[in-house]
């Protein structure tokens, strides 16, 4: 049993947790801007730095999200959040004083572990901190904050690097961490009561989950037999993992949750919409560069249209869900993004911002409307004591959808026999289908009156 935080702390806890969680996308985007300066400083190739400093951070994050969510349920989300803050602080300090590339890699790995601890515990703490009717608005606000954080990364990073050097992208974390800790200074996040029988962490299940995710994430990035074999290994490990988890009293991921239709549909909405979103976010820069040789600042300006839609509509989606329910809001959001993707697919000239800005905004607006209600449905389908596990699964599915969307883009870009305009139109059509799938899944997001986890045998 866990005691829910009183509503008077809602605003401050959402802000405190949002600032901490906002470091995760912020550190994904600011480092990309810093790569050229880091390469010049250490005499390293940009592509090599990208693999070591960006991929290492994302890979460590996605691998440990699931175990971290369950650990929060056992140990307490407040404790895990503070541990995540400390790891981010240590990683930022290592990066700030790094004397070589290996030290930078260590910094990014430590920060990746910190992000794995922060994300599921932040979502779970928000879920357990607010009343059920305020869950979608609160999660919508959190999602909007994350979108703004990701959007601020490139301009803020560029400004800091220009005036203070590449080390400043690591120093940037310190005031944010300090403000987040100050806001949370007297927030007593609940700690799980000690059970009659001590809970044992599922180490074998955690290792299995990490292994299958590693095979999948690396497999989709490789071509030829190496990638195929890793994907097959991931499928086999998934079957073994499910069999193991069904026999555990306290599994790292209770696969029985997927028997709940609302849980399954909502978590798939998150995965599939991220599949479409990341496909668009990564396709547009390639499109503008290949077809029009657009400068980087114009590319960034165009992508701000999508980010603005997400940032504006994420809080609105949560409020709307209280009026027309989560599933109808998710359906509206999916159709909104589908409309935007259809407009982009029917366009044959994307060189000017004004004609395509409404379509890009609609894609982002639909994502914003979707996120809060879908997350609220996932977390409302489980007991309070399993909020961390559900948050970890939610975060993992979000990453897997993103990685799959980027992998499909790689296949599209390789089809050089298809003329450029038709190739990118095909991409918009394929990614648009993702939002049609989301619309269909939204119909299944109706929770029964009593929201509880499935019983464990």
CA 307 – CA 310 distance, rounded (Å)? 5
Residue of 441 and 184 predicted with greater confidence: 441
Q: Name the band, by pLDDT with cuts 50, 70 and 90, for residue 452.
A: very low
Q: What percent of the chain has pLDDT over 90?
A: 24
In this predicted structure, the answer to whether residue 450 has a pLDDT above a threshold of 50 is no
CA 332 – CA 161 distance, rounded (Å)? 41
> What is the separation, in whole angstroms, between the first and last Cα of the chain?
19
- Backbone φ and ψ for 250, nearest 5 degrees, come out as -125, 75
Predicted local distance difference test score (pLDDT) of residue 63: 87
In this predicted structure, the answer to whether residue 34 has a pLDDT above a threshold of 60 is yes
Encode pLDDT of 381-415 as tens digits: 888 788 888 888 888 888 888 888 878 877 887 78
CA 206 – CA 106 distance, rounded (Å)? 22
CA 450 – CA 447 distance, rounded (Å)? 8
CA 374 – CA 369 distance, rounded (Å)? 9
Task: Give residues with Cβ within 8 angstroms of 163, minimum separation 6.
Answer: none
In this predicted structure, the answer to whether residue 6 has a pLDDT above a threshold of 50 is no
Q: Contact, 395 vs 68, CB < 8 A?
A: no
Average pLDDT over residues 62-83: 85
In this predicted structure, the answer to whether residue 5 has a pLDDT above a threshold of 60 is no
Residue of 156 and 256 predicted with greater confidence: 256
In this predicted structure, the answer to whether residue 70 has a pLDDT above a threshold of 80 is yes
CA 254 – CA 386 distance, rounded (Å)? 9
The helix/strand/coil state of 188 is coil
Per-residue tokens: 111: 């920060």
CA 432 – CA 86 distance, rounded (Å)? 40
The full length of the chain comes to: 457
Residue of 294 and 160 predicted with greater confidence: 160
Q: Name the band, by pLDDT with cuts 50, 70 and 90, for residue 454.
A: very low
Per-residue tokens: 145: 């904050």
Q: Contact, 69 vs 397, CB < 8 A?
A: no
Average model confidence (pLDDT) across the chain:
83
Residue of 9 and 8 predicted with greater confidence: 9
In this predicted structure, the answer to whether residue 268 has a pLDDT above a threshold of 90 is yes
Residue of 14 and 177 predicted with greater confidence: 177
Per-residue tokens: 231: 């994907």
The most confident of the ranges 53-62, 80-89, 121-130, 189-198 is: 80-89
Q: What DSSP state is assigned to residue 445? A: -
User: Counting Cβ atoms within 10 Å, is residue 9 exposed (0-12), middle (13-18) or buried (19+)?
Assistant: middle
Task: Give residues with Cβ within 8 angstroms of 429, minimum separation 6.
Answer: 341, 345
Q: Name the band, by pLDDT with cuts 50, 70 and 90, for residue 2.
A: very low
pTM: 0.82
Average pLDDT over residues 56-71: 86
Predicted local distance difference test score (pLDDT) of residue 195: 57
Predicted local distance difference test score (pLDDT) of residue 290: 77
Strands (DSSP E) contained in 77-142 are: none
Residue of 189 and 394 predicted with greater confidence: 394
Encode pLDDT of 297-350 as tens digits: 666 677 788 888 888 888 888 888 888 888 899 999 999 999 999 999 998 888
Residue of 1 and 324 predicted with greater confidence: 324
Encode pLDDT of 149-172 as tens digits: 876 777 788 788 888 888 998 999
Predicted local distance difference test score (pLDDT) of residue 217: 85
Q: Name the band, by pLDDT with cuts 50, 70 and 90, for residue 111.
A: very high
Q: What DSSP state is assigned to residue 52? A: I
Report the range of poorest mean pLDDT among 220-224, 237-241, 378-382: 220-224
Q: Contact, 208 vs 63, CB < 8 A?
A: no
Task: Give residues with Cβ within 8 angstroms of 63, minimum separation 6.
Answer: 116, 210, 213, 214, 217
Task: Give residues with Cβ within 8 angstroms of 381, minimum separation 6.
Answer: 257, 260, 262, 263, 266, 390, 447, 451, 453
Predicted local distance difference test score (pLDDT) of residue 109: 92
Closest CA to 253 of 378, 140, 372, 125: 378
- Backbone φ and ψ for 27, nearest 5 degrees, come out as -80, -10
- The phi-psi region of residue 165 (left if phi > 0; otherwise alpha if psi is between -120 and 50; otherwise beta) is left
Cα separations in angstroms, 306 against 47, 294, 364: 27, 18, 4
With both helix axes pointing from N to C terminus, report the angle between 77-96 and 173-183 in degrees, rounded to the nearest 10: 160
Q: Contact, 372 vs 318, CB < 8 A?
A: yes
Per-residue tokens: 412: 């599209």
Closest CA to 149 of 285, 10, 277, 27: 27
Domains and CATH numbers, the chain: 1-184 (1.20.1250.20), 202-251 (no CATH), 258-448 (1.20.1250.20)
Q: Contact, 294 vs 409, CB < 8 A?
A: no
In this predicted structure, the answer to whether residue 455 has a pLDDT above a threshold of 60 is no
Strands (DSSP E) contained in 69-135 are: none
In this predicted structure, the answer to whether residue 453 has a pLDDT above a threshold of 60 is no
């Amino acid at each position: 049993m866990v005691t829910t935080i009183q509503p008077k702390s809602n605003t401050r806890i959402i802000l405190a947790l949002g600032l901490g969680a906002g470091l995760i996308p912020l550190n994904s985007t600011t480092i990309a801007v810093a790569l050229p300066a880091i390469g010049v400083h250490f005499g390293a190739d940009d592509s090599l730095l990208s693999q070591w400093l960006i991929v290492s951070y994302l890979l460590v994050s996605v691998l440990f999200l699931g175990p971290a969510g369950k650990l929060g349920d056992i140990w307490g989300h407040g404790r895990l959040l503070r541990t995540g803050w400390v790891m981010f602080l240590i990683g930022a300090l290592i990066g700030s004083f790094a004397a070589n590339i290996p030290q930078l890699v260590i910094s990014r790995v430590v920060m990746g572990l910190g992000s794995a601890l922060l994300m599921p515990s932040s979502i779970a703490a928000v879920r357990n901190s607010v009343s059920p009717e305020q869950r979608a608005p609160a999660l919508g606000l959190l999602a909007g904050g994350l979108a703004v954080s990701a959007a601020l990364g490139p301009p803020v990073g560029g400004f800091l690097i220009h005036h203070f050097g590449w080390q400043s992208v690591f120093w940037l974390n310190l005031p944010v961490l300090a403000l987040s800790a100050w806001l949370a200074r007297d927030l007593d996040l609940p700690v799980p009561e000690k059970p009659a029988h001590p809970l044992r962490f599922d180490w074998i299940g955690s290792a299995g989950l990490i292994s299958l995710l590693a095979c999948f994430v690396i497999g989709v990035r490789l071509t030829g037999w190496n990638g195929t074999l890793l994907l097959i290994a991931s499928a086999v490990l998934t079957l073994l993992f499910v069999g193991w988890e069904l026999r555990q009293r306290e599994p790292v991921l209770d696969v029985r949750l997927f028997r709940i239709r609302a849980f399954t549909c909502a978590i798939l909405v998150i995965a599939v919409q991220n599949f479409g979103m990341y496909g668009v976010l990564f396709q547009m820069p390639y499109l503008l560069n290949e077809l029009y040789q657009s400068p980087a600042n114009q590319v960034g300006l165009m992508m701000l249209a999508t980010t603005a839609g997400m940032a504006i509509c994420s809080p609105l989606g949560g409020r709307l869900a209280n009026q027309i329910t989560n599933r109808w809001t998710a359906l509206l959001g999916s159709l909104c993004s589908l409309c935007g993707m259809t407009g982009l697919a029917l366009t044959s000239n994307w060189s000017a911002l004004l004609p395509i800005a409404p379509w890009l905004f609609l894609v982002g607006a639909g994502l914003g409307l979707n996120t809060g209600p879908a997350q609220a449905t996932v977390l409302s389908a489980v007991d309070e004591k399993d909020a961390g596990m559900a948050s970890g699964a939610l975060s993992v599915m979000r990453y897997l959808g993103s990685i799959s969307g980027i992998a499909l883009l790689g296949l599209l870009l390789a089809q050089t026999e298809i003329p450029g305009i038709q190739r990118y139109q095909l991409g918009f059509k394929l990614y648009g289908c993702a939002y049609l799938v989301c619309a269909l899944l939204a119909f299944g997001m109706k929770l029964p009156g009593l929201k509880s986890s499935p019983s464990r045998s």
